[in-house]
Structure 1
Amino acid sequence: MTDDADRDAPPPESLAATAEAAVRAAGAYLADRFRDGDTVGAFETDDVKAAADEAAERLAFDRIHADFPNHSLHGEESGRAGEGPVEWIVDPLDGTNNYAIDYPSIASAVAARVDGEAVAAAIHEPLVDDCYVAVRDGGARLNGEPLPPAPRDRPLERSTVSLVVGLPAVRDESLSAEVASVRSALRGRCKRVLETWSPCVDWGLLARGSIAGVVCAYPDVFEQEAGELLASEAGVVSASADGYYVGALDEATRTELAEALPVAVGDGDEK
């Protein structure tokens, strides 16, 4: 590609194909390391760092730049590099805590943003080899097949919901206390509240209709960009405000989950 062509925004379908290739490259490496037992991580106060994070990120970056060498990159491990209308948001290893203790719930996520808006994304769960791909206004696919929205056939009190807590809320005492109240309120409304520490796995569960909703408290951008687009294109209804996001399979569930939050999330905030 020429520099001029590369600086223009390619079609979302083209970006989605590259996103899928990037997460598959990272995921294949992570799966091999996991199955070989090579998952050692450095445990910090509120996080875990593993060499696999950086290696998987490099593989994803290499795959993206093979197609679009002048696009900018924003990786969870290495930060931002480059400028231009197209930015790639990369979480090479979502669920590093799980990975480091050999708990098989991990994913890789890549989202392409054009002028600040996510237009294509892919999430790969390498240990089960499930790959979700979403294109804005183009729908969502799981392993190449269209992913229609799954109707929820049970009330919320008999359903499972995921709670995703971002590092800002983990590291701030007042926000952590706030999220504790949200957690308690959700438990009063649902049969089970999941906290898997691998948000992208939960986004996939929501997109395929296995869980009734996802509530995110001060989420990290690296999972959120890909997850929100996947959910939206799978037919999930959502709203967000002041550090919180709520996504659910239907309006009634979304409204009920929003009532557990300390901020008002109304129809005007719908996505």
Structure 2
Amino acid sequence: MTTGDDRVDVAERAARAGGEVAHAAFRTGIDVETKDGKTDVVTQADREAQHRVIEVIRESHEEDAIVGEEDDELKAVPESGAAWVIDPIDGTNNFVRDTQIWATSVAAVRDGEAVAAANVLPALDDTYVAGKNGVTRNGESIAVSEKTDPETFAVAPTIWWGFDRRDEYANACRAVVERFGDMRRYGCAQAVLSMVASGQLEAAITNVHANPWDSVAGVFMVRQAGGVVTDVHGERWVPGCEGIVASNDEAHDVVLDAAQEIRPEA
């Protein structure tokens, strides 16, 4: 049986390998397809990067389940056993707009809980890796922000509200700007959660049910870096629950209040 440290290494190698495939297609005028909506886009680079990630994982973990955004991989994290949760290009809308904020994400889970993760942002030359001993960015240890005053916080509304939920998007933005120092919106959930883990942001909020490939790796990073992640009801976040409320744990109650205003009737 492999150790947690082995899975950290595999997660990083797989994310780097997939990221290299995606980066080779970045800013090359690649064709863009749509899936379930005008803003739900996919490219051949997504598929090829996912294939490469899986190839690397399969070199050492042939029997583990794979949860992935593209193709016919599982779409939910198994409650038991070993699995890998992968997103070949998180932030494809940024990718196809030649914007550098996108990530190749790989997380290892066991019995539904993450044990290792890597988020590689090739166009920014940043690699975030998390294991039992904490989180690093480009090999250097990182931790959540130490800011305690919400009026100094930078907070990101994250994940995507569809066209039929734009009132909630507006509520999220208003809830942030009324409470915190400033708002950021990056269009890549794994990048945002990595930024919370590294202290570039104090918090991130959404009430959307996040797909596991958009969330599992980053949530693990925030926790391993000293932060906290709950759902919109204040309960410990697990895959499939409602919303993500991630913070440096210095004023999580205020962050949670903001998240609960996204859909006030809830």
TM-score, with length taken from structure 1: 0.83
Other-structure match for 1:267:
none
Give the aligned partner of residue 53 of structure 2.
60
> Is 1:202 matched with 2:157?
no
Counterpart residue type for residue 148 of structure 1: A
In the aligned structure 1, how far is the partner of 2:151 from the partner of 2:31? 39
Partner of 1:249: 248
Report the Cα offset of residue 47 of structure 1: 0.7
SS at match of 1:231: helix
Q: Distance in 2 between matches of 1:21 and 1:34?
A: 20
Note closer, same or farther for the CA distance 1:223–1:45 as it changes in structure 2 (3 Å cut).
same
Residue 7 of structure 2: SS of its match in structure 1? helix
User: Following TM superposition, by how much is the alpha carbon of 1:159 offset from its aligned partner in structure 2, in angstroms?
Assistant: 2.8
What runs of 5+ residues in structure 2 fail to find an aligned partner?
Answer: 234-240, 262-266
Percent identity, aligned pairs only, is 27
1:194-237 C-alpha deviation (Å, 9 max, x unpaired)? 22111111122111111111113222211210010000001112
Which residue of 112, 117, 122 maps to 1:116? 112
How far residue 152 of structure 1 moved from its aligned partner, in angstroms, is 2.0
Distance 1:158 1:150 in 2: 11
| Gap runs ≥5 in structure 1 | 264-271
Q: Would you say 1:33 and 2:25 are equivalent positions?
A: yes
- The CA distance in 2 between the partners of 1:26 and 1:147, in whole Å, is 24
Task: Tell me whether 1:11 sits opposite 2:3 in the alignment.
Answer: yes
Q: TM-score, normalised by structure 2?
A: 0.85
Name the residue aligned to 1:148: 143
Structure 1 stretches of 4+ with a deviation exceeding 4 A read: none
192-201 vs 38-47, which deviates more?
Answer: 38-47
Q: 2:237 — aligned with what? A: none
Structure 1 residues 124 and 90, CA gap change in structure 2 (3 angstroms): same
Give the secondary-structure state (helix, strand or coil) at the position aligned to 1:92: strand
1:24-77 deviation line (CA, Å, top 9, x unaligned): 001112222215x24331244231111110000000000000111111111100
Which residues in structure 2 correspond to 1:1-271 (within 5 Å)? 5=1, 10-35=2-27, 37-43=28-34, 44-80=37-73, 85-135=81-131, 137-152=132-147, 155-166=149-160, 169-170=161-162, 173=164, 175-218=165-208, 219-240=210-231, 241=233, 243-252=242-251, 254-262=252-260
Which residue in the other structure is 2:238 paired with?
none
Aligned-pair CA distance for 1:176: 4.4
Letter in 1 for 2:155: V
Q: Output one character per residue of 1:138-195: Cα deviation in whole Å (capped at 9) or x when no partner.
A: 2111122222344227x322332111124xx426x3x543343232211211233222
Q: What letter matches 1:256 in structure 2?
A: V
Pairs aligned (count) = 248
Cα deviation code 1:87-136 (max 9, x no counterpart): 1111000110011111111111011111111111110010122111111x
